[in-house]
Structure 1
């Protein structure tokens, strides 16, 4: 899936939440969040459309993989971006992803605790299970099953690169369309079935956390429906969604 450089109007249409400190946008799959060594379309190049009167464009507070869709948090000025960075660093932001995986676990919920390390020096950000790597934990809950697939709500407790993708593959249920750690094709369908569904940000001490939900992108609809999904109003189990 290749997504062209978004126009100003397309970027503004993807704003899910806006306040004085941050934006949450609905990242499309198939586009990098920032410019890589090979160039090409990237979200950051379109952030100028999201200034909304401020002197500078917003800044990424975290990252999502090129082929992952959904909630992406941007800081609107330096102080806000620094505060958001600390919240992400210390695991204070609740993140719930939806994934469709091949096969699936026998149980209905659980936790994956597998340290991760760099695959090798030539593969950039690619990761592997590594007993000497960084501690990495993910929680999962089954949302539905069907047709050799399982729909999972995934919560990364730690925030390692490619963590959910490596963890699911290591457990024997790779994410559908994962062309690095699973069985996805290099080109064409199915593309990666991983979506940042919900984010909960406790940014203000005097206000409740900001909770944002991203709509399910079209490329996930068919396989989610095969697992029992029936529309937008289904939320992750409370123990996953409310963790902050």
Structure 2
């Protein structure tokens, strides 16, 4: 997929800020980190660091995904949070609008994923070479030809939620890589990082930060 990069110019939305961590609401269409080349320099971490110069990257969201993203404000916080992500100790929830009517009330997708090399950055299900990927999901509301879902990934593979929804026959609306036909005919990818629960790097107390979906 080739397109021009015209990121939104929304002001920075700070959800939580203290001496160790910063959580912001990333707009859809903005890279988390710079891409290759000066035309892809505008990104969330650059915008964050212009206000919070000590901010350090912990994880990423896809360019087309909006919602909660956390940064460490000290090297200790970055390490502490990074280990929580690595050891699957954080809890993430997403809201998505998917194509078609999902029949079941809830379920789990357990399908290993790997990069689809000829079509990078697309990912694909691969039972031989893929890495384990698990997503719990719950149906929230059905419309005439779409369903609102809450997605709870247990792993953090690239494009995991997007490929897992496609695999059960319900691609996320507006997905430029995996949706086709009328499912693609939306102004953005209908996927939002709704909440992140983690242990605070200073003392280990549980913290949960949320951002309301814009759709």
Q: Mark yes or no: TM-score above 0.5.
A: yes
Task: Look up the match of 1:128.
Answer: 124
Q: 2:7 aligns with which of 3, 7, 12?
A: 3
The aligned runs of 1:9-24 (5 Å cut-off) are: 10-11=11-12, 14-24=13-23
CA distance in 1, matches of 2:194, 2:6: 21
Cα pair distance change 1:142/1:82, threshold 3 Å: same
CA distance in 1, matches of 2:139, 2:186: 24
CA contact (8 A) 1:67 1:192 kept: yes
Task: Look up the match of 1:237.
Answer: none
CA distance in 1, matches of 2:136, 2:151: 6
Task: Look up the match of 1:106.
Answer: 103
CA distance in 1, matches of 2:21, 2:47: 16
Once the 2 structures are TM-superposed, how far is the Cα of residue 4 of structure 1 from its aligned partner? Answer: 4.0
Once the 2 structures are TM-superposed, how far is the Cα of residue 166 of structure 1 from its aligned partner? Answer: 0.4
The aligned runs of 1:78-117 (5 Å cut-off) are: 78-117=75-114
Task: Look up the match of 2:43.
Answer: 42
The aligned runs of 1:1-244 (5 Å cut-off) are: 2-4=6-8, 10-11=11-12, 14-38=13-37, 39-40=39-40, 41-51=42-52, 56-120=53-117, 122-132=118-128, 133-183=130-180, 189-204=186-201, 206=203, 208-217=205-214, 220=215
Normalised to the residue count of structure 1, the TM-score between the two structures is: 0.79
Between the two proteins, the alignment pairs up a number of residues equal to: 207
Q: Which deviates further from its counterpart, 197-206 or 175-184?
A: 197-206
CA distance in 2, matches of 1:4, 1:78: 29
What residue ranges of structure 2 are gaps of 5+ in the alignment? Answer: none
CA distance in 2, matches of 1:148, 1:48: 41
Q: Secondary structure at the match of 1:212?
A: strand
- Structure with the higher strand share, 1 or 2: 2
Normalised to the residue count of structure 2, the TM-score between the two structures is: 0.89
Runs of 4+ deviating beyond 6 Å: none
CA distance in 2, matches of 1:47, 1:178: 26
CA contact (8 A) 2:100 2:170 kept: yes
Once the 2 structures are TM-superposed, how far is the Cα of residue 199 of structure 1 from its aligned partner? Answer: 0.7
What residue ranges of structure 1 are gaps of 5+ in the alignment? Answer: 221-244
